[in-house]
Amino acid sequence: MGESLLSSLWLLTKRVCAGAVVGITLSDRIGSVATMHGRSMQPTLNPAEDDPWGYLNADLLFLEKLSLRTYNFSRGDVVVFRSPLEPKMWLVKRLIALQGDWVTVPGTYDILQVPKGHCWVEGDNAEISLDSKSFGPIPLGLMKGKVTHVVWPPSRFGPVASHLPEGRVLSQKAGTRTYP
């Protein structure tokens, strides 16, 4: 009996490992889900963060990773990237401008051209968002995925629209692709 228990345990371990390996590959290459905390993307994401239970009702997002293969991101996409200041931290912001675009820096009269390979990101809730207006344009290499859907709570289930705020980009290069 001990032998059969051992062999079934071994079989179970193997199944779990195989499942984990397939799961990690899918989440690396195709897409994964993640919760997001904080109010920087209100009202698009986490609109309920103000109420006392808000932290528990944080949105569960679907991150699409296929665009990481070519780093083709468009202006207006909601993107996830690793913070340039704290490597362990992942941020969710809206991509405003790509390389070569001229953007106005909010709160100043500065106009700035986004350097090669970089992009400009901003939160929808401009007042409290920690974004490119504090750390400047960020390299596209920091990107970790694109937010395409809200998965949870069920009342908010649906796609996350890509939309570019009016008048933020002064002159943009033709097309939306970053690299030909």
Partner 1 sequence: MSLGAGAVPSVAHPVLRGTHLPHCRITEVAGAAMTVTYGIGARCWLPALREVCKKVCDRCTVSSTAGYQCRIFLSTNSMSWRALLQEAFERSVVFTQFICFLNVFSNHVVEVHQCLGPSMLPTFNVSGDILLLEHLSSRFERIKPGDVVMARSPANPRLVVCKRVLGLEGDSVTVLPTSSRGHIRQTVVPKGHVWLQGDNAYNSTDSRHYGPVPYALIQGKVFYRIWPPEGWGPVLSQPTS
Catalytic residue numbers read: 40, 93
Is residue 135 within 8 A of residue 85, CB to CB? The reply is: yes
Is residue 159 within 8 A of residue 45, CB to CB? The reply is: no
Q: How far is the CB of 89 from partner 1 (least distance, A)?
A: 9
Q: How far is the CB of 53 from partner 1 (least distance, A)?
A: 32
Is residue 58 within 8 A of residue 46, CB to CB? The reply is: yes
Q: How far is the CB of 93 from partner 1 (least distance, A)?
A: 15
Q: Is 100 left (phi over 0), alpha (psi -120 to 50) or beta?
A: left
- Cis bond upstream, residue 153 (ω within 30): yes
Q: Which is nearer to partner 1, 89 or 111 (CB)?
A: 89
Q: How far is the CB of 4 from partner 1 (least distance, A)?
A: 6
Rounded distance between C-alpha atoms, residue 21 and residue 67, angstroms: 22
Q: How far is the CB of 61 from partner 1 (least distance, A)?
A: 20
Is residue 79 within 8 A of residue 148, CB to CB? The reply is: no
Rounded distance between C-alpha atoms, residue 38 and residue 58, angstroms: 8
What is the binding site for partner 1 (CB under 8 A)? 1, 3-4, 7, 10-11, 14, 18, 21-22, 24-25, 28-29, 70-71, 82-87, 115-118, 138-143, 178-179
Q: Which is nearer to partner 1, 141 or 165 (CB)?
A: 141
Q: Which is nearer to partner 1, 24 or 105 (CB)?
A: 24
Distances in Å between the alpha carbon of 123 and those of 39, 57, 151, 179? 9, 20, 20, 24
Rounded distance between C-alpha atoms, residue 65 and residue 109, angstroms: 36
